[in-house]
Amino acid sequence: MRADFYQLNSADPASRYSVLCRLLEKAETTCQAVYILCQDEAEVAHLDQYLWAFKPDAFIAHACADQKIDSSIILGHPDSVVVPKHKDICINLCSDLAPKEYERIIELVTQEPTMLITTREHFRAYQESGRTMQYHKL
The CATH number that applies at residue 119 is 3.40.50.10110
User: Residue 104 sits in which domain range?
Assistant: 2-137
Q: How many domains does the chain have?
A: 1
First to last CA, the chain: 22
Give the pTM.
Answer: 0.94
Tell me the pLDDT of the chain (138 aa) as tens digits: 999 999 999 999 999 999 999 999 999 889 999 999 999 999 999 999 999 888 778 788 899 988 878 889 999 999 987 778 889 999 999 999 999 999 999 999 999 999 999 999 999 999 999 999 999 998
pLDDT at 58: 74
CA-CA distance, 45 to 63, in Å (whole number)?
Answer: 11
Element (H, E) at 75: strand 73-76
**Contact (Cβ atoms closer than 8 angstroms) between residue 20 and residue 34:** no
Element (H, E) at 6: strand 2-7
